[in-house]
């Protein structure tokens, strides 16, 4: 089983797994149980990478929640579980990540670390954040900030968010973690964000019930 990272909280508020999707796509298809609607959607996809991601997400969902669980989407395209639980999905290159919870909203982001992120940092890093982390932001910290903001974006779930103005990520005193907040119209949220490095990838996530 190509799961390269997996963890959950001791009180089972959430479960998280990352899958390295490198097996033949026919093998992956054979391992997944799709209902008629899912199968029809899968066969409508023309992009092989999109097909692989779709199958991998369903395979991971089976591992974490069983074969009867399904994903549905609201009017903004935000995913939920048919059981009423919460889910967030991410993918980067060959890795696909999933976090699920039966009790609280969750968000996850996975990014392949790239050297040129510093050139686009002015578009998503505010002066307040630069001062808090120190003006010499390294590559890892920039990816952490970006990943935390992606998590906030997914938790908000309604789109149209300015990553520099509406979102803020600051170091959590005395730890290696960060705290993230969003202020968008009447929506306010402050969360603690966890992260880890998986080789060249930055994995960032949060579950509102545990943070």
What are the extents of the domains in the chain?
3-103, 110-207
Q: How many residues does the chain have?
A: 211
Q: What is the DSSP string of 68-135?
A: T--EEE-TT--EEETTS-EEEEEEETTEEEEEEESSS-EEEEEEE--TTHHHHGGGT--HHHHHHH-S
- pLDDT 10s digit of each residue in the chain, 211 long? 589 999 866 556 899 999 999 999 999 999 999 999 999 999 999 999 999 999 999 999 999 999 999 999 999 999 999 999 999 999 999 999 999 999 999 999 999 999 899 999 999 999 999 999 987 789 999 999 999 999 999 999 998 999 999 999 999 888 888 999 999 888 899 999 999 999 999 999 999 865 4
Identify the CATH assignment for 3-103 out of 3.90.470.20, 3.40.50.970, 2.20.28.120, 3.30.450.40.
Answer: 3.90.470.20
Identical fold for domains 3-103 and 110-207, yes or no, is yes
Phi and psi dihedrals of 5, rounded to 5?
-155, 135
The model's pTM: 0.93
For domain 110-207, give its CATH number from 3.30.540.10, 3.90.470.20, 3.90.1570.10, 3.40.50.720: 3.90.470.20
Longest Cα–Cα distance in the chain = 53
């Amino acid at each position: 089983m190509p799961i390269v990272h997996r963890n959950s909280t001791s009180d089972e508020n959430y479960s998280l797994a990352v899958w390295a999707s490198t097996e033949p796509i026919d093998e992956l298809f054979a391992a997944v149980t799709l209902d008629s609607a899912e199968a029809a959607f899968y066969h409508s996809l023309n992009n092989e990478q999109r097909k692989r991601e779709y199958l991998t997400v369903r395979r991971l969902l089976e591992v974490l929640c069983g074969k009867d669980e399904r994903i549905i989407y609201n009017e903004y395209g935000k995913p939920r579980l048919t059981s009423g639980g919460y889910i967030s999905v991410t993918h980067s290159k060959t890795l696909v990540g999933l976090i699920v919870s039966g009790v609280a909203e969750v968000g996850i982001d996975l990014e392949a670390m790239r050297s040129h992120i510093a050139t686009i940092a002015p578009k998503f890093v505010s002066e307040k954040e630069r001062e808090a982390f120190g003006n010499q932001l390294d590559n890892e910290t920039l990816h952490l900030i970006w990943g935390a903001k992606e998590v906030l974006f997914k938790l908000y779930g309604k789109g149209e968010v300015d990553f520099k103005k509406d979102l803020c990520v600051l170091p959590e005193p005395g730890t290696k973690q960060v705290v993230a907040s969003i202020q968008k119209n009447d929506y306010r949220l402050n969360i603690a964000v966890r992260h880890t490095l998986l080789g060249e990838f930055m994995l960032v996530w949060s579950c509102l019930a545990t943070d």
